[in-house]
């Protein structure tokens, strides 16, 4: 039996390119700072807001109360900017975490199902790909120039060989095959 694809998105022993990840993070942070400064995200405050802010943060910033009004306002903006950047960085961090977790899940799915996938015939593989694209039995029969009943029969065989009724997750195999082909 021939293997339908031989390379994975990443192998278990390999690491993600941390240098590239750091470049992306650095670029995101600089864009966040630029966005903060250019997109009307400067914080307008009045003296009352500033005093409230300092009052609630006085254990950390008690020495500020003696500073002049201009310095206080500047520090207020600085702290708010830091808070804004930390929030955006948290969003970036969450995005990276989701991406990495999704990659790991895909890798486990592939490892668990590669043998089942390789057991499919070429025609079954073509039909599975079209199913994963959301095509109906009628559409598949027109595309492959076969009868609707043949498609239904192949679908039953695919479900039996893959031992699942939910076929969509197998779209990952076709995405990787397309990446490897290019």
Q: How many H-runs (helices) and E-runs (strands) does the chain carry?
A: 8, 0
Residue predicted with more confidence, 9 or 50? 50
Q: What is the pLDDT of residues 44-79, one digit of tens each?
A: 445 555 555 555 554 444 344 444 444 555 555 556
What per-residue confidence (pLDDT) applies to 66? Answer: 43
Q: What is the mean pLDDT of residues 153-158?
A: 90
Residue predicted with more confidence, 142 or 91? 142
Q: What is the pLDDT of residues 73-107, one digit of tens each?
A: 555 555 666 666 666 666 666 666 677 777 777 77
The model's pTM: 0.45
CATH code of domain 119-182:
1.10.10.10
Spell out the domain ranges in the chain: 15-103, 119-182
Which residues, in sequence order, are CB contacts of 85 under 8 Å at separation 6+?
29, 32, 33, 36
């Amino acid at each position: 039996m021939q293997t339908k694809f031989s390379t994975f998105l990443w192998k278990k022993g390999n690491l993600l390119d941390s240098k590239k990840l750091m470049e992306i993070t650095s670029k995101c942070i600089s864009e966040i700072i630029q966005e903060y400064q250019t997109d009307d995200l400067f914080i307008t405050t009045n003296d009352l807001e500033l005093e409230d802010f300092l009052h609630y943060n006085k254990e950390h910033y008690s020495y500020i109360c003696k500073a002049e009004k201009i310095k206080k306002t500047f520090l207020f903006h600085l702290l708010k900017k830091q808070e804004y950047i930390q929030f955006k960085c948290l969003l970036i961090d969450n995005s990276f975490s989701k991406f990495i977790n999704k990659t790991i899940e895909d890798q486990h799915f592939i490892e668990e199902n590669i043998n089942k996938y390789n057991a499919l015939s070429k025609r079954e593989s073509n039909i599975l790909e079209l199913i994963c694209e959301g095509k109906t039995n009628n559409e598949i029969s027109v595309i492959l120039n076969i009868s609707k009943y043949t498609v239904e029969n192949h679908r039953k065989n695919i479900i039996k060989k893959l031992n699942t009724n939910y076929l969509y997750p197998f779209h990952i195999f076709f995405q990787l095959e397309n990446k490897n082909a290019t």
